Each structure stands twice: as C-alpha cells, then as structure tokens.
Structure 1
Amino acid sequence: MAMNKRGDSDIACVLLAKRAVIKGFLSSRLGNAADAEDVLQDLWLKIDRLEIGPVDDPLSYLFRMAQNAAYDRRRSAERRSNREQQWVETQSSKAGTEYIDDSPDVLKQMVSRERLAEVEQVLNALPERTSYIFRAFRVEGRAQRDIAAELEISVSAVEKHLRKAYRAIIDFRKGVDSDDG
C-alpha cells in the first residue's frame, strides 16, 4: 500500500480530501445525512483496518466502496423493517389487537416497588461498609479490585462483605417467599 509521509494510505488521503463529495454521494443514496455520516465512518474504519494494495484510481475505488456500503445499509434497514412488521403482525394476530402492551400491570409495579423498598431497608440495616461495597459492585458495576483499592482492603475482604450482603438478601427473600405461600 502506498504511504505518504504520515503513514496514511493513498485511499485514506483521498477519503479525507474528498469527504464532502463522498458524503453527498452517500446522502443521495441513503436519503439523509445522518446515515451518510455513519456509512462514511464505517468506510474510514474499513480502510484503516484492511490492507488494500495499490489502486490505480483511489477515488473510483472509494465511490464503489461507498455504493456497496450504502446498498448494504439500505438492505439491512429493509430487512429490519420487514422483521419488525412481521413481529407486529404475529403479535397482533395472537392477541387480536393492533398493539400489545408489554409493561407490567399496576399491581405488579406496586408489589415490585414495595419489594425494592424492603430490599433497601435490608441493605440499610447492614454495616455501612458492607452496604457501600454491595451498592458499588452490584448497582454501579464497579470491579471488586477497584473497590478494594479505594477502601484499602483486600479483594478477599470485599468478597466477604458481598457474601454478607447476599446472605441478608437471600434470607429476606426466603421470608418473602414463605409469606407469599
């Protein structure tokens, strides 16, 4: 692949130089600038990733790549639209209605909120450090080693606090399950 002083390929340089023209080409094929910008970004990534040998006419090559990418994007959008339409038709034929509401009913939402409040109470009853570690790990999604480093404790200690929190929640759930019969 021919490289310039910065190490960019000829095709990448042409893409940068003719970006506006190629974007206009894609916009006319796709119908909007947002999709054209997405495809242009995909082209840039593809060029950066692929080992493309010397090309006699880099601009023509780019237009062909853009044409193919636009075609693929339109075809994917049509397939997605057809799938969604088929799903809606299947669901409405099953239910006998045009629209299916997948949201839980009001009673289930109320019960879920009550259970969440009860779990919050269980967590608040735990020692402060245990509650903090549980929330950092399970709610915030932080890594155990990061929590351990922040609190200046071992990862093993973090795991012990988590087991303690899990045990409290399991005990709570056993009580709830036995109450529900």
Structure 2
Amino acid sequence: MTVDQDSEEQPAGLRSHYEMLQPKLRRFLTARLGSPADAEDLMQDLWIKLGQIPSGPVGNPSAYLHKMTLNLANDYVRSRMRQRGREAAWSDVMIAEPNSLAVDPSPSPEAALAAKSELDILLRAIRTLPERAQQVFRKHRIEGASHAEVAAEFGISKSAVEKNMATAMKHLMRAMQEDDET
C-alpha cells in the first residue's frame, strides 16, 4: 500500500479529529440540549460543515471542533427560543382559556359581511345628515373632539353642539332600524 492510497482511505484533517472526538462531542451536545435526537442532528450538521469549510492547518483541532459544536448548540438553542416565543405569542392570542381549543379571533365571514353592510348603511346615513349636524358629528364622533372644541371651531354654543349631535344620532338610529326592518 502506498502513502497516497493510505491517505485516501483515512479521513484527513478535521474529519479525522471529528472521528476521534465524536463520542465526546455527542455527550456534550446531549447534555447541553437534553435530547439525544437533537444531539445526533447537530452531529450530522457538524459533519456537513466540516465537509464545506476549506481544510487547512488548525493549531488545536480539538478546541476548534469543540467551539464549532458549541456554536451549533447555541444557534440551535436560540432558534428554539425564538420558535417558542412565536408559539407562545400565537397561543396567547388564539387560546382564550387553558385546555380549550384554538380559536381564530377574527370575525367569521358572515360577521364581517354583516359589519361591512352595517358600515355602508351608517356612511350613507351620515352623508344624508343636515350639513351642520354632519360636520358636528364628524368632528366629535370620528375625529374625537370634545363638545367645547367643536363649539369653538364652528363658533356655536355647546348647547347647539348637543342639539346637532342629538339630531345626528336620531337620524342614524332611524336609518339602522329601517335597515333591520327590510
């Protein structure tokens, strides 16, 4: 057997050190991750990485492999923590009570359609309000201005604001009741 044939049969460089350290690295990962299956997955990832990195002289291959293993384990743990955070955020929103089924908090298609229809009716009714009542309603209910602010902006009394709001509310309630009857 020539030297060239011998080197082809034996793993070279870091992979040969990997072969020697494999049981120790596997124990380290199992202890760090708490799962032999996860440790085995990361051992395979380490093997693949060793095949992808350019092989050159390494001063302390054992320390190098341990550091690579630690980095893989840390990346894995961070990934799992992010995943658990996403799952926790999802379950906080989706599950109303412990031991209950996950429920989508968005409205059903029927409820969404009914709400859109109701909104369309209200918008049409607002557009048919007398001009001053419409302005006062928009300023107070939509923009959130107080009665005093509305009165100051339009140069009217607070009593006039209240009367315009009452007119607007009666008009809108009547429009909603008429829609319910049809």
Structure 1 length-normalised TM: 0.49
**Structure number, greater radius of gyration:** 2
Structure 2 length-normalised TM: 0.49
